[in-house]
Structure 1
């Protein structure tokens, strides 16, 4: 090992979520402890994986071994800090590539990343482990299902959402069978698999969970109060929701949310920081898991940075803990 481990901080990505990756990158770059780590920011784009040198020079990553050649110096990385939302950084593709090269990284492994990127497979595995989830149907573009068939199997209102990806793009809340066709068409524009899920009423909580020094830590969680019908793209990125961190909640309820989050983290064999979304249904007295974000947003306004600060850590402490945890997997 060098005096300082050499870290590749990867940002960008191949989907529309790249813009969110770049927002996260600003916060992450400001808060990486450069006295501990030597950091190279790598922009992962379809036209090349690029490093921009301080002198303005552009260098391409050699994909054969994920290295950089700068002024005759070959640079190899000790670990990768994953900051890509969407494909190929959140769906397991890059994780599989790094596994093949034997380079550790700060996110969930390839299998968990791929699984959790598929909303339906995520809730199926969770349900199998005894975690409460909403009833849902999984639809495929090449096997159309009549709206009446869906209406007969699920109670309205329902959410119709693209099965893969994040950021709630293409999602609708549907109150009756009449609006189902239009909502399905909208979701199928984003993905060839669609999830139709019963609406669970209750309070929406979202909780960051990470592993440090062998311990799984749950962050103080957030209550999301959407001003829109639901926590959609507008609510997430254009301030159309109110977020209260830490949530004002009875300790008995808080304990249920924390223990459900801990269980999810273990069942899915998560690594690094993940953010898990729950609806706490008062009538049932149980948290229902909605989804798992394996590369949660890190912009200043994002939920995980708020939770880290509520725990009394600095973001510098937090990113150091994530990188150090990855380096232990070397």
Structure 2
């Protein structure tokens, strides 16, 4: 082995020894395609999430919703105009109604059809606790339970129907700011954004859970950069054999650091998450945008993105698909 090879081997060994597997994986994921899905041209006014229910697609866009019932048609603005900084929407197939987090108004609203005006306030409190900027909302197909959360204090609510049966899981001792919820394999996960952790709820009734901590966490923050803070998770979701995760990295919070590095990653196991053995997919998205909520479904993994600095200029849905036999 010549001197050049010796130097290369030494550097590689040092990287692995110091746990820098994440950086070495940045180009390892082949067979992945990420393309802009909506809108067909231009930008939404804002964009955090897309919901798919039967033929209806709804994009949560700040103070408005955009929808369509035909994938070949452009999105139309919903006449529902009461929202303030809404973050997420979901369809309840049992009730045949949509639920949205009206985040800025500290409530959940419900409606039957995004194409018409009628809507109702569903809840301003849950389990005797006031809703404070609820972000995400989920429906569990297997059980009929719905979930939402107060992001500032790690309170997760489970409810059905009128909300009278609501219960709360208090994770305030373990989480800071928390943006998202995920159901994968019948299990509920709470995304601890500022702490860079994911809480796996093993039994909501018994208040049992375990915490998965991310590799490379430097300090707690609501936004940042890989070098400055470590992961600041917006969402984590499971799709076709991998977990995918987004982080709130942008120029305003990154400062002199790279705001794109590790903002969109994937990994196979929670051990990989803990050890930093992941693929950095950030280069597949535009630079300087924030990837937010993830929506896995049969056609791909959808990613809501926006510009933190220039709202309404890069707010779009991107779709990730895998080529056949992609590892």
Structure in which a larger fraction of residues adopt helix: 1
TM-score, normalized by length of structure 2? Answer: 0.31
Instruction: Compare relative contact order (CA 8 Å, sep 6+) and give the higher one, 1 or 2.
Output: 1
Which is richer in strand?
2
TM-score (norm. length: structure 1): 0.31
